[in-house]
Amino acid sequence: MAETVVEMRHITKKFGEFKANDDISLSLHKGEILALLGENGAGKSTLMGMLSGLLETTSGEILINGKEVKMKNPREAKDYGIGMVHQHFMLIPAFTVLENIILGDEPIKKGVRIDYTGAAKRIKELSERYQLDIDIHAKVRDISVGMQQRVEIMKALYREANIFIFDEPTAALTPQEIKQLMKIFGALAKEGKSIIFITHKLKEIKQAADRCVVIRSGKVIDTVNVADTREEAMAEMMVGRKLRNSVEKQAVDQSKLVLDVSHLNVEKKGQARVKNLSLQVHSGEIVGIAGIDGNGQSELIEAITGMQKIKSGTVQIKDKDYTNKAVRKITEAGVGYIPEDRQTVGLQLPLTLAENLSLKNYYQQPANKYGVLNYQYINEHGQKLIKDYDIRSRNELEPVGSLSGGNQQKVVVAREIASDPDLLIAANPTRGVDVGAIEYIHEMINNERNSGKAVLLVSFELDEILKLSDRIVVMHEGEIVGEIDPKDTSSQELGLMMAGKKVQPNVQEAAQ
């Protein structure tokens, strides 16, 4: 057996009375890829936080290369050869890739000058060896998310890391970029580097990992050999119950046109973001908009909901014109809207759960009488939704900001669905939400469809689009580049279209 590089023995971490990690043990071998699987809040990030020096253990010990270590900060962890690639990259957009890589460890020549040429040479060597393919002279703000991640990997390699920790590395990547990342994983492992990656995506574990540690509620449920374990088995270990990975679509009337967007043009900061786009959504159907982040999906949705000015074109809801109307007018027309960013748009974090659950009807009877708010009603309404939508919280007076991400999202979903809209617009409704909550939110959205509501779904997660949609349109650079039926589309095909390649499904079939 290969030598063990990291061993965590009986690690317990307490935050106050709460045990985030309870007697966790794991080991990592040289050249091994280890997956850490668990729902949000299961304690994965806490565990890795201790390994990367961000947190201190309450009890238990960490051994690196067989020696017990006590790390007080990330800098010490780095000295032990541990490199962490965070979910949110820690790069400076205005700096070049090269400057970002050497930042904090600049090679100094003759006491004062930074040795850029020497650094560039070393980075080039590493880049070739590990197939990292990065352009070191580009500014970080100009490169893709996938390349930013490779820059982060390079930062760790440059600092001679032997142990890599990845926190949900595929969350923001396209299928092609994910493939490339998996290749890099392989190259790193072949050179004797060891990798731990946090994820809740089973497909990736199956693809890349050797072993998988499943964590639930702060405890290790099992450590399995990936090759001999089915995906479903790992999923059930993670959530502790059986999961359904499809939704039940009932036959409903899909004849009524609810949303009719025609020749829409939207500009933001002088740049055209939506170009001459037309789109229709009918009652009882879920239309999924697939596309890579930043291709005009957000602007399209903001234009429909009144958050963003429309330059030309029209938006009709139930045969009435709502082009450039006030947000409240559009809401009152029967539009529910789950925004992409719950923290800065969908919720007022310091306000209470009840206030947030009434954020769209606080001004109407019975919540508002003659300008005075009826807090008894608002709080009771809050209690009811908390119960109906299974929002985990102490009570309705708790500030929303103190809830977990999944529960915050449930607050938004509950508010928007409880208002009984005819058109539900959902933008990345399950971003950063754990598997249990994803399943629940998917079911809620599908229920809306089954009860005859029109649903417009924007998502960067292909699985989500494929699972929920009746129809899929693909957006690229502000335009719809194709429409496909989810029943006969693979995620590979969809991925190519998202990258801007106009693929004719039937042509491809003929070629095969």
Partner 1 sequence: MKFKVKSSWVVPLVAIIAGFVVGAIIMLIFGYDPIQNYGSLLSGAFGGVYSIGETMRNMTPLILTALGFSVASKAGFFNIGGSGQYLMGWFGSVIVALHFSNLPGWLLIIISILAGALLGGLWSGIAGVLRAYFGTSEVITTIMLNYISLYFVNFAVKDWLAGKGADSSPNIPAKASLRGNFLENLTANSTLHWGFLVAVLVCFVVWFYFNRMKSGFELRSVGLNEQASKYAGMNVKQTIIAAMLISGLLAGLGGALDGLGNFQNISVSNSLPQVGYDGMAVALLVNYSPIGIIFSALLFSALQIGGMSISVFSDTPTEIVSIVTAAIIFFVAIKYVIELLISKYNKKQKSKKMTIKQEGSGE
Which residues contact partner 1 by CB under 8 A? 16, 307, 326-328, 331, 337, 339, 344-351, 355, 359-360, 362-363, 368, 371-373, 375
First CA to last CA distance, the chain: 44
| Shorter beta-carbon distance to partner 1: residue 225 or 365 | 365
332 or 461: whose CB is closer to partner 1? 332
Least CB distance from residue 51 to partner 1, whole Å?
24
Q: Cβ distance 503 to 497 under 8 Å?
A: yes
Euclidean distance between CA atoms 220 and 42, whole angstroms: 10
How many Cα neighbours within 13 Å face the side chain of 241? 5
Could you give the CA distance from residue 429 to residue 231 in angstroms, rounded to a whole number? 24
Residue type, 27: S
Nearer CB in complex with partner 1: 152/302? 302
| Cα–Cα distance for residue pair 226/212, rounded to 1 Å | 6
CA distance 427 to 301: 8
CB of 318 to partner 1, least distance (A): 18
Please, which residue, 145 or 359, has the CB nearer to partner 1? 359
Task: List the structure tokens of 301.
Answer: 């949705």
Query: What minimum distance in Å lies between the beta carbon of 426 and partner 1?
Result: 14
Could you tell me the smallest distance in angstroms from the CB atom of residue 337 to partner 1? 8
Q: What is the 3-state secondary structure (H, E, C) of 6-20?
A: EEEEEEEEEECCEEE
Residue number, 360 or 476, with CB nearest to partner 1: 360
Q: In the complex with partner 1, which residue's Cβ is closer, 360 or 381?
A: 360
Q: Measured from the CB of residue 71, what is the shortest distance to partner 1 in angstroms?
A: 21
- Rank residues 372 and 507 by Cβ distance to partner 1 and give the closer one: 372
Q: How far is CA 119 from the centre of its chain?
A: 33
Q: Which helix (H) or strand (E) holds 392?
A: none
SS3 for 252-316 is CCCCCEEEEEEEEEEEECCEEEEEEEEEEEECCCEEEEECCCCCCHHHHHHHHHCCCCCCEEEEE
Taking the complex as a whole, how short is the minimal distance between the CB of residue 428 and partner 1, in angstroms? 15
Query: At its nearest, how many Å lie between partner 1 and the CB of residue 430?
Result: 19
What is the nearest approach in angstroms of partner 1 to the Cβ of residue 283? Answer: 24
Least distance from partner 1 to the Cβ atom of residue 405, Å: 16
Q: What's the CA gap between 358 and 130, in Å, rounded? A: 52
Nearer to partner 1, 14 or 86 (CB): 14
Q: Decide: helix, strand or coil at residue 475.
A: strand
Q: How far is the CB of 341 from partner 1 (least distance, A)?
A: 8
Identify which of residues 236 and 332 has a Cβ nearer to partner 1 in the complex.
Answer: 332
Region of 102 please: left (phi>0), alpha (psi -120 to 50) or beta. Answer: alpha
Tell me which long-range contacts 274-277 makes (C-beta under 8 A, separation of at least 24).
274/299, 274/300, 274/303, 274/478, 275/477, 275/478, 275/479, 276/313, 276/479, 277/313, 277/475, 277/478, 277/479, 277/480
The residue (of 343 and 492) whose beta carbon lies closer to partner 1 is 343
Cis peptide before 93 (omega within 30 of 0): no
